[in-house]
Amino acid sequence: MTDTTPHGPRGRTVLLAGATSAAGLAVTRALHDAGARVVATGRSAERLTPLADAGAETRVADATSLAEMTALAEQLGPVDAVVPLVGGWRGGGGLAGQSDEDFDALLPALEAVRATSRAFDAALRASPAGRFAVVSSTASSTQVLPLL
């Protein structure tokens, strides 16, 4: 059987959850320029303005809230990719060198992964290109087009 599913972001819907950082803006621009429908979320309408200016549809929603992400999933319908961009690990001492405060700073990112993956599970499974991406390094490239 031949795969006839179109590849790449053109025509795909990508949710960027917690997208108000510089990384969110870079990913928004790259995906929008490649023809994707980008839906960007954040807790501040004001901080979402640059994303809207870059071509994203924006929604005020807390990516760490399962209730808010579930409501958003119901509103959006089909989604091809979800990328939670909330926070991340800090420090440079490896796992053994991390403090409890460092771990506490990581918890919102873990909550965002939990909430977005659960809320958008059905939408991603229904997509012929369903992807859930977790960014795990500050050294990650903004080259996200192979995502889809």
As a whole number of angstroms, the longest Cα–Cα distance in the chain is 52
The pLDDT of 4-16, averaged and rounded, is: 81
DSSP notation for 32-77: HHTT-EEEEEES-HHHHHHHHHTT-EEEE--TT-HHHHHHHHHHH-
What span, in angstroms and rounded, lies between the C-alpha atoms of 11 and 22?
A: 24
Question: Over pLDDT 70: what percentage of the chain?
Answer: 82
Phi, psi of 53 (to 5 degrees): -65, -25
Q: What is the pLDDT of residues 70-79, one digit of tens each?
A: 999 999 988 9
Q: What is the pLDDT of residues 17-53, one digit of tens each?
A: 999 998 899 999 999 999 999 999 999 999 999 999 9
Q: Lowest-pLDDT range, 27-31, 99-103, 109-113, 135-139? A: 135-139
Q: Phi-psi bin for 77: left (phi > 0), alpha (psi -120 to 50), beta?
A: left
pLDDT of 84 above 70: yes
CA-based nearest residue to 40, from 66, 61, 67: 61
pLDDT of 117 above 80: yes
What span, in angstroms and rounded, lies between the C-alpha atoms of 58 and 39?
A: 6
End-to-end CA distance of the chain: 20
**Within 10 A of 106 (CB to CB), how many other CB atoms are there?**
15
Which pLDDT value is given to residue 1?
A: 39
Q: Lowest-pLDDT range, 51-60, 118-127, 133-142? A: 133-142
Which pLDDT value is given to residue 103?
A: 77
What span, in angstroms and rounded, lies between the C-alpha atoms of 124 and 31?
A: 18
